[in-house]
Amino acid sequence: LGKFNAQSGRWDGEDADPARRRQPFAPRQKSAFPVTCDENADELVGNMDWRDDGDRAGEIWPDLHDRESCGENIAFNARRVVDLARRYCTDCEGYHLSHCLRRVGQGRDRQEKRSRLVDVVAGLAAGRETVDILVAGAADTATLALCAHAVARIGALPRTRFTVLDRCETPLALCREFARRHGLNLTAARVDLSSPGRGFTADIGVLDSVLMFIAPAARVGVLHSLGRWLRPGGRLIVSMSLRLSPEAIAQDTRIKTEHAQAGLSHADGAGLHKATDDGVWAEIDRDLARNRARRRDNASADEMAALFAAAGLTEVASQRYVDEKVGPAGTVRRGERLIAVLAPRALSDSGAHQ
């Protein structure tokens, strides 16, 4: 891949080779581990014909090295999620529909967060003999994709194992499909982070925009569990929008609505006729209403620091930056996002994690 240029955020020579950026299928790399999905994959993805769906539509799946897409096909996700949500979701159908359609509608928006997280994951994975990455909470394939892209960029994909946890099978099924497309070693498990019932191990844990879906009273316990699952030298990455003003919350919901409408129009034009069902938009509407309540529960920077301390975690590094979201109609929402790299306090204080 050549040498990484920190100033441009690219690998030298990356743009000179279009085949590296986009391929119909990524070649399966020789792995340090057996390349498998978890034991439920065939049962959960059976009869969905996901391979043929993408190929018949003439779609090209981006390569994992493509810095803008991280190997995701978000239009494919938007079409797939309609069937998956109806099959698996209980009270979260609207969220998954809304999320996937919004990502289609917003196009390349929100690249800054992804770029920052990719750099953090790549930096933590570099130099490890093997890498176990745990994604705690997944709306779709976004977090898995950025993690896979990060390790692929540094040549560590063959020695990396991924675990994705979520309480709903819909995003897990999407992640399994993504893993099969790109030859990832993935375990995807249905787990409620508030009461996991079992333990996991990881070198890197990633909690991206998930805390707002966890009841405030349960957040300390969730973070404490994630910290306990880290191996010696492991790190937990927490990415979270900080508290918004009432005006910003209203702008956020308006932009989400605009992006979902744009995504719905685009997806329908690509053949997703089911997305025009009244029931689909009703579910999305319900999620947009819930968004306002979720955003009101976001913490301030000081409250996040107190939350980490209460969970027995120490900030090893952190970034705070202006997080700007722009809607198709020109609505702008400005807020602040925190990306924190955490280590269990007892171990970090002793120097074992430095």
Give the C-alpha distances (Å, rounded to integers) separating 270 from 75, 263, 275, 322.
8, 11, 11, 34
Q: Where are the alpha helices (DSSP H) in 154-296?
A: 169-182, 219-228, 246-269, 278-296
Q: 8 pLDDT exceeds 90?
A: no
Question: Would you place residue 328 in the very low, low, confident or very high pLDDT band (cuts 50, 70, 90)?
Answer: confident
Residue appearing with tokens 């025009």? 276
Give the C-alpha distances (Å, rounded to integers) separating 235 from 53, 204, 351.
38, 5, 13
For the segment 193-222, the average pLDDT, to the nearest whole number, is 94
The rounded mean pLDDT for the chain is: 81
Per the structure block, which two tokens stand in for 17? 């080779």
Q: Are 1 and 155 in contact (CB under 8 A)?
A: yes
pLDDT for 64-96, tens place per residue? Answer: 999 999 999 988 888 888 889 888 998 888 888
Q: Which residue has the higher pLDDT, 94 or 27?
A: 94
pLDDT for 224-275, tens place per residue? Answer: 999 999 999 999 999 999 999 889 988 988 998 888 888 877 755 444 545 4
CA distance 63 to 20: 7
Q: 121 pLDDT exceeds 90?
A: yes
Residue appearing with tokens 């375990």? 187
